[in-house]
Amino acid sequence: MTTITLFTAPQIRAQRDALSQLLIDCVNDGASVSFMLPMTGDKAQTFWTRVADSAARAERLVLIALDAQQQITGTVQLILDQPENQPHRADVAKLLVSPAARRQGIAQKLMAELEKQAADQHKSVLVLDTATGSGAEIFYQQTGWQRVGDIPDYALMPDGASCSTTYYYKQMNIK
């Protein structure tokens, strides 16, 4: 059974090793999530240290999926910190599910909770981008995200191949 928990900055720091392993596993599996091969423990630890610092400043929310044994199987972030003319908008970043735990609905649960958190924060427009043609693209299309368009040659895949990025948005009914 999967539970979704909002991690505080101290919790992120305490679980940095497990979160780093999740990131390393996803990059080694080919995910285009800002990192190149070889993916190292140092790069992953630095990433999560910065995420914890940012969470401590209330710039972002970090959601964690835990299995029945309280092991981390997935994560996603809601970036709250936006320019003053976009107080109603947030970005979604680093949706990661362990390659060993995929196609069990964990990403769906993470994103459902993320949308609840976004509504609580009065965020009515959510934006994300993902590698064109990836499994993540199919996931977002299946879960109600509106495709905006592609930017060719936006990034590199972990192995150095050129990668197009596709932008998506979701408008939320918030009360």
Ligand X SMILES: CC(C)(COP(=O)(O)OP(=O)(O)OC[C@H]1O[C@@H](n2cnc3c(N)ncnc32)[C@H](O)[C@@H]1OP(=O)(O)O)[C@@H](O)C(=O)NCCC(=O)NCCS
Residues that bind ligand X (CB under 6 A): 26, 31, 33, 95-97, 102-108, 128, 130, 134-136, 138-139, 142
Task: CB nearer to ligand X: give 33 or 163.
Answer: 33
H or E, element range at 154: strand 146-156
Q: How far is the CB of 65 from ligand X (least distance, A)?
A: 8
Contact 18, 72 (CB under 8 A): yes
| Closest residue to ligand X: CB criterion | 135
Q: How far is the CB of 140 from ligand X (least distance, A)?
A: 8
Task: CB nearer to ligand X: give 62 or 136.
Answer: 136
H or E, element range at 137: helix 135-142
Task: CB nearer to ligand X: give 87 or 150.
Answer: 150
Instruction: Print burial letters for 44-75: b (CB count within 10 Å at least 16), e (below 16).
Output: beebbeebbebbeeeebbbbbbbbeeeebbbb
Q: How far is the CB of 158 from ligand X (least distance, A)?
A: 11
Task: CB nearer to ligand X: give 10 or 38.
Answer: 38
Q: How far is the CB of 74 from ligand X (least distance, A)?
A: 6
Task: CB nearer to ligand X: give 15 or 130.
Answer: 130
Q: How far is the CB of 92 from ligand X (least distance, A)?
A: 7
Distances (CA, A) of 147 to 116, 127, 137, 170: 21, 10, 9, 9
Q: Residue 151: what residue type?
A: I
